[in-house]
Structures are given as structure tokens and as C-alpha cells.
Amino acid sequence: MYRWTLVVLSTLVLAVNSPAYSQIDSTANDSAPDLPTLGEGSSEPSDTLAITIFYSNDLNGQLFSHGDTEELSGGMASRIHLIQAAMSAGPIVVLDGGDALGPSTLSTWDKGKSMVSLMNLAGYAAMTPGNHEFDFGLDHLSRRKSEAGFPFLAANLSGKGGAETPFEKYVVLDRAGIKIGVVGLVSPKVGGQTNPKLVANLTFGNPAEVARRMVSELTDLGVHYIIALVHMGEEETLSLAREVDGIDLVVAGGFRGLDRAPQVRALSRLVNGVEVVTSPSYGAYLGKVLVRFAGNVSTGYHEIDTSSRLIPITREIPEHLKAASLILELESAYAGASGEALGRIEGESLDDQARLVANLIRSHTKMEVGIVSRGSFREVSADSQMYVRDVDRFVRYDDSLVKLTLTGKQLRKIVSRSKDAGPGEAGLLFAGVDADAMWVNQRPVRDGELYQVATVEYLAVGGGGYAEFTSGENKINTGISLRSLLSAWLKAGSLSAGDFVALDRQRVWRSGWSLEGAFRRNYINNTTALYRSQKERVSFLSGETSIAWNSATRYFLSYEAGPNVVLFENTTDFGQLGESFGDLETSTDRLDGDVTYRRRAKELKVDPFVSTGISTAFSANGGSRPFLWRSSVGFQKRLYRRVVVRFAGRGQRNYTAKETDYGAEISLDYRRRLPQGGRFRSNTKSFFGFTDRKVISVENYNTFSFPLVGKLSLTVRQNNFLYRVDKIQNVPVKGSAVRMDLTVGFAYGLDWKWL
């Protein structure tokens, strides 16, 4: 009856204060140490019993005292003193909500072994794993479990294919005749917060569904009080507490961004009467829940009251001698192993320093891009000499370097996902990538281009939710650890941004070649034939109105160094027509070549360029061969990612007609990806002459490409050409020459890229 009254009162409180939950106990910031006593001075009847539940969560392997204030220090030795002093005052239960074994430098060094020893000293009854319990893999976690005098609880974790795990579902504790059931539950998101490779053999079940089954089993065992020991986010925790009936208390770890007591609710009571507690990270407080029960062994017990507080662990609290000695011994051993002097790491912020590491890994592996996770680092002083132990502290999670290739499209998605993650630990830091402009080493990212990337294994296998890395190709795990690489570099001096300036001007060669075989329908108008007869020969006006077979090769070679680009392009077309193979005659042939130098100039928002090229044909037709030389100076600009427009002044010499023309060149290039991997490109080149001949030429090339098998694709090309002059050999002419063609066939292409 009392419990139902409490639920009704809680509902009324929530209606005033919060739609979800409210803070019941306001003593979270009391500074005096608090040691529980049986009954704590209450006037409860003699069959009332009080049990104190001490809890910790998100200790992050913090063994020794710390803190940035004089009051708070934390530390396991003082924590253990408080807990052991309370043992004589009445029955207690000590629990941990995960992330106890790491990733602090000292605890990571011995892979959580000392932390487990200290938790044994404290008398922990159970813990549930957080993401940092998996930092060293399941084999190491199993070793820690064998050393622990308490179970690791995770009811919703199971081994794939029936494989064994170091976890138990629940434990039943007897305290003065009161049976307390403790069930462990882990968020499925934990699998993405650690290296997915380390949890690949685990299955994460739905916490709420598993919790209902566990509550039923514990109830059948006759427990009086059920505690859910969970590691999950705040919203997940509250949702679990609302959805699952029968849970009395939730002890939670895994809330993000809780560093100080004012950010933490000492006790939250939900509408259904479930109480939820957590504590700040890094162990500056000891959580305490006092639960009073009424009843006796024969009639059974029931909860009548719950209160909670956070006990500050200050410097005034004595240290447990054996615990302090164990920590000092570990610290001394670590100091001896990590005392080698190194250089400095420059950088005014954590992001600056971590980005230097991203540059270091791409430099060492000779990759274009370096990517690291912001959460893998802790800021260090840029003004002080570093030691090996400082590298261990700076690199929070050591990991091995991995090389792989990503497409531009995959890289875009990774950058976008990082931006969505915000400035927190889930965000990434890039070297070689301008994440705002989406450039790699001062070159715009192309969706289809392959980029050589260096990162760490955690990201390479999809950690942090960055699944795009798993689609990368040519993965190579170098076996080089991040800490060892950084230490080796710092032995020779400091790490600064100036060490990597040249990387942003990294030289890149790209090349591509394709061979096409197709049938072509070619059309020319009468004016085109008239122009030819008067020796106004232009290569793109070649051929006759006919159906012919056609072959073509297309080749390009580019050299890119930072903002500087040199590009050579060559196109050849050759087609023949005849009634049999013995009387084939050339119906169309053409040879084009261009060399262009372009400078990407962000400050101008346009790219200036100069180019020169020729257009001719393989065969002479009517006694002469068309030959046109051209040179251009101008600029180009990219519009809306898919469109590039070019404006230039151009001079050209038609050696067949013996005429020179000057004018303006305008070009437009549009590219778009089609469903199922298809591509479409439309390129239009136009020239408007200012000399007395007033030459006008327009070349329009449209290409559809559809992948078939491997490098083989189906291509459909439709081209349109227009050419007009006022005079040929000083003789006025009228009309415009027009040519159109349609080609359908197959293409085989290869692409290369090397640094």
C-alpha cells in the first residue's frame, strides 16, 4: 500500500516539475564525508532494516587522487577507506556501472589488473562492463574476471555460436536476510564505442526484453529488491526504467558529459516508482543509496524508503594503507618504464595537437589523408618537455595504424558524419582534408577518385559509427602503434605544424585510358561539304552522312602538386564504311591533343589557366589534311559541384585555310552520376572570333556510360557540331556547317593514380 501511495505522490511531483523524472534528494553537494549507520537515527520499528548501496561508474581507470580543485581529489585508496569504514555500521552492497578498467594511463598500462585488485579490496559485489572494459579484448577481460572476487554482469550479451563469455546474467546477494537481485545490462551502442573487432564475437540483445525475463527469474527466486546495473546513455536508461516493471533501482554508468556533481541528479524517481542513480566521471564522488526495508525473514521484506547522495572524496579523507601501497608500487614501476625524455608537441588546443598526429601518420605511411578520432587524445602542455609517460597520457587509446583506400564519395560521408557528431569525442580530425571546402591537399574531392588514407584500426573497422571505413579497399594493418610512432618522432625533436607543410603540396599523378568499339550514324549538311571544297577544313567536321563502325581511344595524364595542375588530354576517332571488308573507306577520323596548366586559387574563387592544343586527322581527304593549332588564356569556375564553366581569350591558326583568328572561348562541362553506377557527361566548347572572318564554332559532346562487367561498359555518345565563317580565302560564304553523330558501343577503361 505504501508503494502505491509513493507512486501516486511521485506522479504529482512530476506533474509540477518534469514530464520525465525529478530530483528527490538535494544533498548531492554535501562536502562532509558520510558514513552510514543502521537505521541512521530513525524511529522505525525493530523489524526495519537499512542497507547501504555504494556505487561507482565511469571511473575510467582513475587509481590515484587527482582533481583541479583543492577540495576534490578522488582516488581508489580514499574510496576504499570510506567503504570499509562503513562495513561495521551495517550491511552494504558495492556495485560498479562500467568503464572502471580504463582508459587512464596508469590503469591502461597494466590493462586493468591493479584496478581489479583494488575493487577486490573494496568488496565490490558486481560490476557491468562499459565500452572501456573491452579495450584490450575479451581474452584480457576474461583474465580480469578470473582475478576478480565478484561477477561481471551482462545479461543481454552472449557469444556468437554459443562461444563462452566472461559475463553472468545476474547475482543474488543476501544481506541480513534480505535477498537483493542484481542484473547487468549493456547498451548495444557500446559495440560502436569500442573497436568493433574486439566485440565481433558478441551479440548485443535488446536490454528491455532481456530485463523483463531476468526480473521474472529473480522474482521466482524470491528476491526482495531488484537492482539493474546498466551501462548506457541517459535516454536509454530512463526508457528502460519506464518500460520494465519490477525493477526497484537502476545504477547507471555511461551518461555522457557528467564531470561534476551539479550536473548529476542524486536520485531520480520515475512515475512508475523506479529510482535511477548515477555519479560524475573519474571517481571524485562515491555514490550512496540508503534503502530501508520493513518486515522479517519469515514474513518477507519490502522497501519503505530510499534516499541517495553523492559523497565528495576530498583530501581530508584518509587513504586505505594497503590500497595506497599497491597504487604507489604500480606508479613507481610505471615511472621507471616511462621516464625517457622526449621533445615537445606544439599546438594551442587539443584539436591542433591531435591534427599534428593525423599529419604524422599520413607522413609516415606516405598517404594522402590522415584521420584520427578527437576522443583518442588528451591535451598536454605545449611549453613543456614530454616524457614517454606524457605520450601515454596524450594518446588515451593506443591503436595500430591502418592504410586503406576510400572513394571521394565515402570520404565525403565520413566528413559529413563527423560534422554531425559535433565538437565532442565522437568527432574526427583530418590532415590533408579541408572539411569545409572538401578538398584533399588543395585538390577538390572527386566522388569516383580513390584516396589513400591512413587511420587507426578502431576507425578502419567501423568504430564510432563510421561504417564507411569498412567499405574501404586495400586495407593493410601496419602493426605500428600510435604511441610508439609518436615516441619515436619525439626522440628526434619536437612535433610541429611546420614539419608537414610540404604534405599539402603532395604530388599526385593521375592517368586514364579507354578503348571503344562502336557503330556510328554520322550526318553532315550541304554547307559542310561546301566548306571542305573551299579548303576550310576542321577536324570535327569529318566524315560523310553514313553508318559506319567506329573506334576511339581517349587518354589523359595529369600532374597535380598542391594548387598547380598540368593536364594532357588526347582523343582519337577512326571509322570506316564499306560493303565488305575489302572495300572499306575512311568515313571519319580525328586526332585532338591539349596541354593545360591551371592554378587553383581559392582567394580568387576562380582558377586561371593557359592551354595549347591541336586538332587534325589521320588521313588526307581531297588532297589535304585539316590542321588547327590553338592557344587560350583565361579562368574557370566550378558551379554547384557538377558544373564547370570556362572563359578565355583564344587565338587559333587554321593551316589548311591559312587563316588566323582571335576571339573568345566559352566552355561548359556538366557531370552527373546515374542510378546503378551509370554516368552522364555533357561538354560544350565554343569559340567566337573577333577578326573579319567572324568564326563561330560550337562542339557539343554528350556521353552516357553504363557499367557492365569489371572495366567494360556500354557507352552511348551523341555529338553536335556547328561551324560558321563569313569568308573563306577572302571569298564571302553563307550558311553554317553542321555535323551530328550517334555512337553506340562498348568501352574498356583503366585508371591509375600514384603519389
Cell of 356: 599534428
How is 126-185 classified by DSSP, letter by letter?
Answer: EE---GGGGTT-HHHHHHHHHH-SSPBB-TTEEEGGG---S-BSEEEEEETTEEEEEEEE
Q: Where are the alpha helices (DSSP H) in 493-541?
A: 526-533
How is 304-327 classified by DSSP, letter by letter?
Answer: EEEEEEEEE-BTTSPPPHHHHHHH
Supply the pLDDT for residue 447: 85
Alpha-carbon dihedral 375, 380, 386, 392, rounded to 10 degrees? -30
Closest to 607 in 3D by CA, of 650, 654, 645, 658: 645
Start-to-end C-alpha separation, the chain? 77
∠ Cα 72 74 78 (to 5°) = 120
For residues 169 and 194, the answer to whether their CB atoms sit within 8 Å is no
DSSP 3-state assignment of 43? Answer: coil
Angle between the N-to-C axes of helices 350-365 and 482-491, in degrees from 0 to 180, rounded to the nearest 10: 90
For residues 31 and 315, the answer to whether their CB atoms sit within 8 Å is no
Angle between the N-to-C axes of helices 234-243 and 207-220, in degrees from 0 to 180, rounded to the nearest 10: 40
* Alpha carbons 736 and 456: distance in angstroms, whole number: 62
Supply the pLDDT for residue 7: 36
- pTM of the entire predicted model: 0.71
* Alpha carbons 379 and 723: distance in angstroms, whole number: 66
125: CB partners within 8 A, 6+ apart:
93, 94, 95, 150, 171, 173, 182
β-strand 268-270 against 275-277: which pairing, if any?
Answer: antiparallel
- The residues facing 402 across adjacent strands are 455, 477
Sign of CA dihedral 124, 127, 132, 136: positive
For residues 402 and 470, the answer to whether their CB atoms sit within 8 Å is no
Helix (H) or strand (E) holding 750: strand 737-754
Cell of 111: 590493462
* Alpha carbons 97 and 513: distance in angstroms, whole number: 59
Q: In the chain, which stretches have pLDDT less than 70?
A: 1-46, 66-72, 257-267, 271, 579-581, 621-623
∠ Cα 295 296 301 (to 5°) = 50
CA 718 distance to own-chain centroid: 41
Q: Say which amino acid occupies 157.
A: L
Supply the pLDDT for residue 39: 36
β-strand 21-23 against 268-270: which pairing, if any?
Answer: antiparallel
Q: For the chain, list the domains and their CATH numbers.
A: 2-33+46-335 (3.60.21.10), 339-504 (3.90.780.10), 507-754 (2.40.230)
For residues 429 and 447, the answer to whether their CB atoms sit within 8 Å is no
Burial readout 264-281 (b: 16 or more C-beta within 10 A, e: otherwise): bbbbbbbbebbbbbbbbb
Supply the pLDDT for residue 8: 33
CA 217 distance to own-chain centroid: 41
* Alpha carbons 324 and 555: distance in angstroms, whole number: 72
* Alpha carbons 520 and 371: distance in angstroms, whole number: 48
Burial readout 685-705 (b: 16 or more C-beta within 10 A, e: otherwise): bbbebeeebebbbbbbbbbbb
